[in-house]
């Protein structure tokens, strides 16, 4: 099955978070056809396992051992991302400034929160901080454009 691991808090400042390191890490865990997507902690991979919770745990346990950092890991299958996109939750909303289209993925539930942030009246970090307080960092967010990029790369 094709999956994407959505890693929380990945940034280019840490050399162990770079795409090449993440690719090698996932390959060392035995995953196939590993492909990072942009530099924000999105890693496509294939696994014979259908146990997404088990895959998340495996990645979260090994990250600090092999790369020296922890990260909440949320996995979605290609089919799940396809269903999300086909629902077209932002229908009729322009994906341009001042709109910021954001999808928040929840670890403990198989659901997503689709939000439109008006950047002319608020800031993305304020919104994210509120979500973090509420859900204790058991979430990660991606732009709608990034979700599309991930699914497109999964189909390649």
Q: How far is Cα of residue 80 from the mean position of the Cα atoms in its chain?
A: 13
Q: What is the enclosing helix (H) or strand (E) of 32?
A: strand 32-37
Q: Is the peptide bond before 98 cis (omega within 30 degrees of 0)?
A: yes
Is residue 13's pLDDT more than 80?
no
Residue 80 contacts residue 91 (beta carbons within 8 Å):
no
**pLDDT tens digit sequence for 15-47:** 888 899 999 999 999 999 999 998 889 999 999
- Identify the sign of the CA torsion 99, 79, 18, 55: positive
Q: In whole angstroms, what is the distance from residue 59 CA to residue 72 CA?
A: 9
Quick: pLDDT tens for 127-147: 788 888 898 889 999 999 999
What is the average pLDDT value for the chain, to the nearest integer?
A: 92
Phi/psi of residue 132, nearest 5 degrees: -60, -45
Listed residue (12, 132, 30) closest to 72, CA to CA? 132
Cβ distance 90 to 116 under 8 Å?
yes
Query: Do 153 and 35 touch, CB atoms closer than 8 A?
Result: yes
**Residue-range domains of the chain with CATH:** 2-79 (3.30.70.1280), 89-144 (no CATH)
Instruction: Give pLDDT, residue 122.
Output: 66
Beta strand 73-77 pairing with 2-7? antiparallel
């Amino acid at each position: 099955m094709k999956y994407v691991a959505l890693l929380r808090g990945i940034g280019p400042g840490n050399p162990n978070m770079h795409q090449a390191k993440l690719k090698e890490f996932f390959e060392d865990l035995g995953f196939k056809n590993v492909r990072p997507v942009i530099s924000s902690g999105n890693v496509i991979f294939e696994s014979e396992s259908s146990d997404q919770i088990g895959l998340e745990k495996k990645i979260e346990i090994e990250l600090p051992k092999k790369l020296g950092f922890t990260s909440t890991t949320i996995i979605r299958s290609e089919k799940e991302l396809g269903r999300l996109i086909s629902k077209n939750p932002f229908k009729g909303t322009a994906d341009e400034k001042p709109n910021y289209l954001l999808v928040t993925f929840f670890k403990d539930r198989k659901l997503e929160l689709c939000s439109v942030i008006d950047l002319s009246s608020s800031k993305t970090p304020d919104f994210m901080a509120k979500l973090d307080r509420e859900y204790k960092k058991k979430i990660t967010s991606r732009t709608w454009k990034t979700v599309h990029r991930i699914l497109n790369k999964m189909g390649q």
